[in-house]
Structures are given as C-alpha cells and as structure tokens.
Amino acid sequence: MSRDSRFSRPDRRGLRRHQRGWVGLVVILLALVIVAWLAKSALTSYGLTGKPPAAAPGAPPTDPRERARAVEQTVIDRARESARQVDEAEKPQ
C-alpha cells in the first residue's frame, strides 16, 4: 500500500467517529441550556431573581444611594427646622 492511497480518501468509519465528537458537544450544550432554563425558572418562582418588589410609600429605600439621599434630605430638613427655632427664640417678644 502506497502512502498516497492511505491518505487520499478517508473511510466512512473514521468520519463518523470524528462527527460523533461534534454531536456529543451539541448534546452537552443542549443539556446545559435546558439546565440553565430550569434553574432560572426555579429561582424566579422562589423570588430570588429580578428586581425586588417596589417598596410601599413612606418605607425606607432599599438602594444604598437612595438611602444616602434620604439621610441627606433628613439632615437638611432638621437643620432648617433648628435654624427656624433658633431664629424664633432670638426674636424679641
């Protein structure tokens, strides 16, 4: 058997064996997609994903930046109230 005849034409068994690897990868990828989809639906049903429900009006904000803004506004309001009380106390009666 010459060297050219061995490499010139692959046999079908070798091709199928080579293609089985690709089929296996596709099956594994499909299984991974199914598991991810099931995990997402399970986490959503448990309420562990997505945005938290909107807070009731008057409830403290849950976002740290919003809490900081609320604290800042509270400090400003109390400073104005204290200044107004000091001004009223200093007025001659």
Express as a percent the part of the chain with pLDDT over 70.
Answer: 69
Q: Phi and psi of 69, rounded to 5°?
A: -65, -40
pLDDT at 19: 66
What pLDDT digit, counting tens, does each position of 4-49 carry? 555 556 566 666 666 667 888 999 999 999 999 999 988 888 877 6
Q: Where are the domains of the chain?
A: 1-50, 54-93
Q: What are the DSSP calls for 6-25, one per residue?
A: HHHS--HHHHHHHHHHHHHH
Read off the amino acid at residue 46. Y
Sign of CA dihedral 10, 14, 16, 21: negative
Does residue 3 carry a pLDDT above 60? no
Distances (CA, A) of 17 to 13, 29, 63, 83: 6, 19, 55, 85
More confident residue, 53 or 29: 29
Query: pTM for this structure?
Result: 0.38
